[in-house]
Amino acid sequence: DTAVSQTPKYLVTQMGNDKSIKCEQNLGHDTMYWYKQDSKKFLKIMFSYNNKELIINETVPNRFSPKSPDKAHLNLHINSLELGDSAVYFCASSQAPWGGNYGYTFGSGTRLTVV
Amino acid sequence: DQQVKQNSPSLSVQEGRISILNCDYTNSMFDYFLWYKKYPAEGPTFLISISSIKDKNEDGRFTVFLNKSAKHLSLHIVPSQPGDSAVYFCAGKESGGGADGLTFGKGTHLIIQP
């Protein structure tokens, strides 16, 4: 039973398309996140969300939008995909907004390739 | 501006010896530091963390040391085992505000040689 699961694992799409990546966690965590690992291997936070608040990293283009139908899900929608969006996207969750000693639990990643 | 730096892209250690992975940071607002391990095609897995008010935290074969004055931390793995071969990420968490996420270093690829 995967704690944080993302689908799809691989996604190849053309420029200009709109796509979504789904994320679900069964840990009962309060907060979920989206991270992007770019070609230089840096893992950077894009969003954090709990049932009260969405916090957006200011560097994220507004073509990216998280959608949370409930506490266990945080999906990532991307409009008008660009070549530079190609990366691995990781979903994560934590028990408290601050992560703390428990760390953050990550999904296995979605490799997005825009052609 | 890299707030978390892992200056060694890779490190090769013989099985049974000690592995020492280093990490430097610039953000004084970090209140926790975490180490993650990542295998290919998998997400990062939490290993160990340390609060900024401590200088050492130990969990089995893993020990993290924090030197706040030098803004430096290190992860010691002893003894090193073949399954430890992976990419290790150092991360800092800023107290309050922001997206409340982690700021990661670029990672160090640890290779354990038999």
Res. B103: pLDDT tops 70:
yes
B44 touches chain A (CB under 8 A): yes
- Give A-chain residues touching B102 at CB under 8 angstroms: 43, 45, 99, 104
Res. B78: pLDDT tops 90:
yes
pLDDT interval class at A56 (50, 70, 90): confident
A68-79 mean pLDDT: 92
Contact B46/A31, CB-based, under 8 Å?
A: no
For residue B8, the model assigns a pLDDT of 94
For residue A19, the model assigns a pLDDT of 97
Contact B104/A4, CB-based, under 8 Å?
A: no
B33 with B15: CB under 8 angstroms?
Answer: no
Q: CB-side exposure of A30: number of CA atoms within 13 Å?
A: 10
Res. A1: pLDDT tops 70:
no
Q: Which of helix, strand or coil describes residue B102? A: strand
- Give B-chain residues touching A90 at CB under 8 angstroms: 43-44
A72-87 mean pLDDT: 95
- Enter the DSSP assignment of A85: G
Assign residue A28 a region: left if phi > 0, alpha if psi is -120 to 50, beta otherwise? left
Decide which of A40 and B15 is more confident. Answer: B15
pLDDT interval class at B106 (50, 70, 90): very high
Summarised one tens digit per residue, pLDDT across range B7-16 is: 999 999 999 9
For residue B101, the model assigns a pLDDT of 73
Res. A2: pLDDT tops 80:
no
Contact B42/A108, CB-based, under 8 Å?
A: yes
For residue A102, the model assigns a pLDDT of 66
A30-42 mean pLDDT: 87
B48 with B71: CB under 8 angstroms?
Answer: no
Summarised one tens digit per residue, pLDDT across range B22-65 is: 999 999 988 889 999 999 889 999 999 999 999 999 999 999 99
What mean pLDDT is reported for chain A? 88
Contact B104/A90, CB-based, under 8 Å?
A: no
A85-110 mean pLDDT: 83
| Token representation of residue B53 | 């008010």
- Give B-chain residues touching A57 at CB under 8 angstroms: 98-99, 101
User: φ, ψ for residue A58 (rounded to 5)?
Assistant: -65, -15
Query: Which residue carries 């996140």 as its tokens?
Result: A33
Res. B98: pLDDT tops 70:
no
List the single residue in B41, B46, B98 with the smallest CB-CB distance to A103: B46
Chain B CA closest to residue A36: B104
- Enter the DSSP assignment of A3: S
| Least confident window among A9-13, A97-101, B2-6, B40-44 | A97-101
Contact B51/A101, CB-based, under 8 Å?
A: yes
User: φ, ψ for residue A85 (rounded to 5)?
Assistant: -80, -10
Contact B44/A43, CB-based, under 8 Å?
A: yes
Contact A106/B43, CB-based, under 8 Å?
A: yes
Contact B99/A42, CB-based, under 8 Å?
A: no
B1 touches chain A (CB under 8 A): no
- Enter the DSSP assignment of A72: T
- Residues 45-84 of chain A whose Cβ lies under 8 A from any Cβ of chain B: 45-48, 55-57
Alpha-carbon distance A68 to B39, whole Å? 28
